[in-house]
Structure 1
Amino acid sequence: MSKAETTTRKSPPKTGDKKKTVAKDRRPPVAIGHVRIETHTVDDTIEFFKALGLRGIFRNDNFGVLELRGGTHLIVSKRDKPVRKGTAAPFDIMVDDIEKAQKKYAKKDFEPSEITSGSIHSSFYIRAPSGHKLKITSSHAGKRAV
């Protein structure tokens, strides 16, 4: 481990205590806690996001919580009417390997669009059961901890 990757600290004072080397936390100091999507079909929307790779945390008839990498929670909440088909989801999903994700989601019959490349990300779209158009985008984090 390089010096830039470590930090030293002293434990509570003890007789003969020595400095301990611990790995430095390289993650950003803040994260997004919660994002929300409203849907007329809570169960189908929860199952859809679980199939994308999110972890189920809580669920009832009108509400669900799923977890993404890094601990961000997606809140799935009940609404009476479907959103207009093609309404952009209020967030996008970032994956490490965009081509692999597109193939995986095609096998799950999510009908992904073609991959397009922008100046920073490559991306494609799939449709959620809520009617939202969900953008799947490539990560640019590289080897950095997120």
Structure 2
Amino acid sequence: MEEFVPSAAIAHFVMKVKDVESSYAFYQGLGLRGIDKFPEMAIIELRGGTHLLLAAKDDPMAGALHASRVGQRPDFISEKIDLMIAGHTRADLEKYRAELMANGYSPADIAEAPLYGHDYFSMLDPDGHGVSVYTSHCGDKPV
């Protein structure tokens, strides 16, 4: 039986940051892949190929990125991103969280009750953006 693979994926998610360098290091420390850095923007790759574009808040060159933000509320002063680990169990999430703590991160406790079948915890990035980390629900399906 042929596995269905979705025809599209999220390509880019733009997050405005105060300090590109510290944000780049923060997200690499979460286990995401650093792709490239420029003076006012950096690219981080997530599992599945989605790119997180870390754009300096006051960079005029980032205007081209922000010009295409149809539907984004202009009053947002911070943003939130949800990440999903490859693991499916609470034990997998506990291991990932412990690794982050050993590397100097300060995540909140894992929530007592799952949210729609996901165990999760949250924390803040250097700019105060919310970062929540969830267990996967994809089973053995390709991603």
TM over 0.5: yes
Amino acid at match of 1:64: A
Higher strand share: 1
Compute the displacement of 1:26 (Å). 4.2
Aligned pair partner of 2:46 in 47, 68, 74:
68
TM-score of the superposed pair, with normalisation by structure 1: 0.74
Which stretch shows the higher mean deviation, 112-121 or 42-51?
112-121
Pick the structure with greater CA Rg. 1
Q: How many residues align?
A: 119
**In structure 2, how many angstroms separate the alpha carbons of the residues matched to 1:126 and 1:29?**
32
Compute the displacement of 1:119 (Å). 2.8
**In structure 1, how many angstroms separate the alpha carbons of the residues matched to 2:5 and 2:102?**
33
**In structure 2, how many angstroms separate the alpha carbons of the residues matched to 1:108 and 1:126?**
14
3-state secondary structure, aligned to 2:138: coil
Compute the displacement of 1:27 (Å). 2.4
What is the identity percentage for the equivalent residue pairs of Structure 1 and Structure 2?
A: 32
Q: Determine whether 1:143 maps to 2:133.
A: no
Give me the CA root mean square deviation.
1.8
Q: Determine whether 1:114 maps to 2:109.
A: yes
Structure 1 unmatched runs, 5+:
6-24
Amino acid at match of 1:74: L
- Following superposition, which runs of at least 4 residues in structure 1 exceed 4 angstroms of deviation? none
TM-score of the superposed pair, with normalisation by structure 2: 0.76
3-state secondary structure, aligned to 1:43: helix
Per the alignment, residue 92 of structure 1 pairs with 82
Alignment of 1:1-146 (within 5 A): 4-5=1-2, 26-80=4-58, 87-89=78-80, 91-95=81-85, 96=87, 97-116=92-111, 117-146=114-143
**In structure 1, how many angstroms separate the alpha carbons of the residues matched to 2:93 and 2:5?**
23
